[in-house]
Structure formats: structure tokens, C-alpha cells
Amino acid sequence: MEGLTLLSLLLPLLLFDTGDAKYEPNWKSIDSRPSPEWFDQAKFGIFIHWGVFSVPSFGSEWFWYYWQRNKVQVYVDFMKKNYPPDFKYQDFAPYFTAEFFNAKKWTDIFASSGAKYIVLTTKHHEGFTMWGSKTSWNWNAVDVGPKRDLVDEVATALRANSDLRLGLYHSLFEWFNPLYEQDAANKFKTNYFPTSKTLPELYELILKYKPEVLWSDGDGDAPDTYWNSTGFLAWLYNDSPVRDTVVTNDRWGYGSICNHGGYYTCSDRYQPGHLIKHKWENCMSIDRRSWGYRREAPLSDYLSIEQLVATLVETVSCGGNLLLNVGPTHDGRIAPIYEERLRQVGQWLKVNGEAIFNTTAWRAQNDSITPHIWYTSKPQEKAIFAMMLEWPSNGTVILHEPVVTQGQTQVVLLGVGTLPWQPLNPSGGLTVLLPPLPFSQMPCQWAWTLKLTGAA
């Protein structure tokens, strides 16, 4: 009798636990969620930093902060020289015109890069929302500037014209929001700002645009308890319309980076050079000095296609995804230098995508002796990929890591065909003889892949 009473008391709790509230609002539970498989398979995404900072398009997307808070001299001088003395940052917003913005054209460029997802800034630390947010008045793209819902246009065009998945970037804090400043003055013992601004925005973004990546940023030196991050994430994982496929990153409050949440981003341009077991992403920008568009950038500040391919290869070999940033202009263009780089990555992936997409980190990330060789693998196909960032000048390359077997091991140069090889020594390794191809018959121009089967 007593046992039955206990069971009938426990039953609803058990049902509740295995049903609605699968994840609880604490890090132990949130961190236990497996990363949705699509994200690890995707490997490559495009980051887009666009906002009011694209109007001055000078220095960095941190323009407002460097000018008004840090009073960095080049920013102060830039304003003095080019604008009336009473010009405020807010006065830039009407010049955020986006008259050449065409989301279909953007989608075509993103798709041509071979990327599998994008991440668009919906609100950077300046606080300007790129959609008609319910909690924004006259500091959003529908009320001022383009007078268009830019997030909706990107999301709609992406879904209508590509297989790319939608990701949204959102900054928790806003540099100069008075409610945030009030909470900060109260040492984050009050939470006026997250409850009236940040959290409503996050729920609105998820419900309205159903992104499959939510890229959080800007903890404002406040703990995750102030932002109610685990409360929001429990809702996201249990009850939101994207609960099965959404991935998030690790920027959810002071100390959570590289520690809690979804995949790790650790630091901007994170490139560990060795295998990281927890899923991670290297976010970096084609312009090495800024995420937002910069009119004054010289050619030498844009990474070359050789550098970008090398970064993609190294990142994927070490278990990461690459999130490659472009900064569109205030009038909605993706400048030809960015477009060219994205299309070049796409050309390279057309030949070598087999060694990138859906791969798993191999037991060795790069060759132990021959430099500039990075490995990936596809266990289901029993394939090992060796990506060479340089074409060997004497026509042979030595791979020291793979263990080969005569009569079993096959070596294929992707885009060309089967190549002859010789064992290096009994314990492993091989020498591959590369064909003397004329330049016009090279399968690609910036890095080459050897696919090994029947090797271990």
C-alpha cells in the first residue's frame, strides 16, 4: 500500500522529467545536450557583420565605443575632420540606406563559397536591431535607415534559394543602454536590462526567424545568472520551435566562454593547432583588422586565398568549423574583394570538399615530419585525407603517419586520379609520386588532397 502511494506520487514527476523538461536551467544539464550532428558535418559558415557601424565604416565595428568611451585619437580626429561638431553616433543611422541590398544576390554569393550556414548580426553592441524589434523604438532598421526588416529579407531569401542554414548573432549587452548601465552600477544585483530588452529579443528572434545557429556575444562582464542564460537555453532546447536542430556557442556570461553552452569559440580567431575534443568554431575575418566594413583597408589587410584555405584546412583537421566573416557596406553591397575570396573558397571546395565536409578528425592532425600536411578522415569509407598546402617542388611527397599495405592501399589525388606510391619503411609511411601536371591541368590552385584508402 505504501509502495503504491509512493509510485503514484512519483509517476507524474517521472513523466514530467522524461517529457517536457528534458533540460534544466543549470550548466550541468545544458552542457549535457549532444551537439546536433549537422553542425559538425557542415564545417564551414559565413559570418556577416552589418549595422550602423557600416556607415562610418572606419576603424572597426567598435567605432562608437572607441570614439566616445575610449576616446581613441584616430577616431576623435576622424569625426572632427569629417563631421559637424554636434554630430552624434545616432545621426549615422539615417545614412544606413541599404539601397543596393539584395538578399537573393547575397545568398548566391554565400552559396558559391560552399558554406553550409551563415551567421548574421541582428544586433551588435551598438544596440541597433536589424529587424523591427518589439522592444526597440527608433533604433532599428524598420524605423530608421533602410526602413526594411533586414533579418527577414536575409532569412527568406536564404530559405527560398539555397540549402544554407540560418544563424543569427545577437549581443547580450549594449555599450550605452541606460538600463544596462544602471544594472552595472548596481553590480548586476538588478536585472532591468535582461528582463526588458535582452531576453524578449532572444525569444522574439527564435520564434520569428527560427535560426539553427544562435551566436551569442557581449556578456558585458556580467555573469550568466544576470542574463538568465541557462533559463533561456533550457527553453531553447526543450520547448522552442528549433529545439531539435539549433546549436549555440559558449558566450553566455562572464566565465562561460570556452567552458559552457554549445560549441566553443574561446577567442576570436581561435586556432589551437591541435585536436579539441569538444566541438568548436574558429570565427575569423577576411579583413584581419575588423569585422565591419572598413573603407580605409589596404589590400594587404585582406587575407589571401592561400591563407584562407590554409585556415580552413587546419581548423577542420583539429575538429573545428570555420566561420569566415565579411563586412557588407552601408548601402548593402558585398565588396568584390570579399566576393572573390568567397567564390575562390567555393572553387577549392568543389574539388576538395570530400576532405572537408562530413569528415572526422583523424588520429594525427598534421604530419609529424613533412610540414604543411593536414589530415582528416571518413571512418565509414575507411578513407584518410592528406591535404598538402604546398605542391612539392621535386614531385614527391612523404607522408609519415599512415600505415600502408602493398596491394591494398590506394592513393588518389582529388580531381586527377590514382597515383603510384612506395612504402617508406616497414613501420609505416609512404612516398607518393605526383604527376608532372602542366598548370592548366592542375585540379585546383591553392592546396591539394591525397585520398588514401586501405591505409590505417
Ligand X SMILES: *[C@@H]1O[C@H](CO)[C@@H](O)[C@H](O)[C@H]1NC(C)=O
The distance of closest approach from Cβ of residue 433 to ligand X in the complex, given in angstroms and rounded to an integer, is: 9
User: Under DSSP, is residue 377 helix (H, G, I), strand (E, B) or coil?
Assistant: strand
Residue 144 to residue 148: CA distance in whole angstroms = 9
Q: Where do the H-state alpha helices sit in 244-377?
A: 305-317, 336-352
The conformation of residue 194, written as its DSSP 8-state character, comes to I
Beta carbon nearer to ligand X, 94 or 273: 273
Beta carbon nearer to ligand X, 91 or 239: 239
Strands of the sheet with 44-48, listed across from one edge: 247-248, 213-217, 165-171, 117-123, 44-48, 320-326, 280-285
For residue 436, state whether it binds ligand X (rule: CB under 6 A): no
Beta carbon nearer to ligand X, 124 or 251: 251
For residue 200, state whether it binds ligand X (rule: CB under 6 A): no
| N- to C-terminal Cα separation, the chain | 61
Beta carbon nearer to ligand X, 65 or 235: 235
The distance of closest approach from Cβ of residue 81 to ligand X in the complex, given in angstroms and rounded to an integer, is: 43
* Backbone φ and ψ of 106, nearest 5°: -60, -45
Site for ligand X in 363-382 (CB under 6 A): 366-369, 371
Beta carbon nearer to ligand X, 10 or 369: 369
Site for ligand X in 269-288 (CB under 6 A): 273
CB 327 within 8 A of CB 54: yes
Beta carbon nearer to ligand X, 60 or 366: 366
For residue 231, state whether it binds ligand X (rule: CB under 6 A): yes
CB 325 within 8 A of CB 367: no
Residue 216 CB coordination number (10 Å)? 27
Among 26, 70, 182, 396, binds ligand X (CB under 6 A): 396
Beta carbon nearer to ligand X, 398 or 456: 398
**Of 78-86, 155-163, 229-237, 416-424: span binding ligand X (CB under 6 A):** 229-237
Among 72, 276, 303, 398, binds ligand X (CB under 6 A): 398
Q: How many residues bind ligand X (CB under 6 A)?
A: 19
**Of 59-67, 205-213, 276-284, 391-399: span binding ligand X (CB under 6 A):** 391-399
The distance of closest approach from Cβ of residue 234 to ligand X in the complex, given in angstroms and rounded to an integer, is: 6
Site for ligand X in 25-44 (CB under 6 A): 25, 41
Among 190, 357, 419, 445, binds ligand X (CB under 6 A): 357
For residue 201, state whether it binds ligand X (rule: CB under 6 A): no
- In the beta sheet, which residues pair with residue 282? 322
Residue 372 CB coordination number (10 Å)? 16
Residue 434 to residue 425: CA distance in whole angstroms = 19
Residue 411 CB coordination number (10 Å)? 22
At 455, list the grid cell: 591505409
Residue 30 to residue 22: CA distance in whole angstroms = 10
Residue 21 CB coordination number (10 Å)? 15
Q: Which residues are near ligand X by CB under 6 A?
A: 25, 41, 195, 228, 231-232, 234-235, 273, 357-358, 366-369, 371, 394, 396, 398
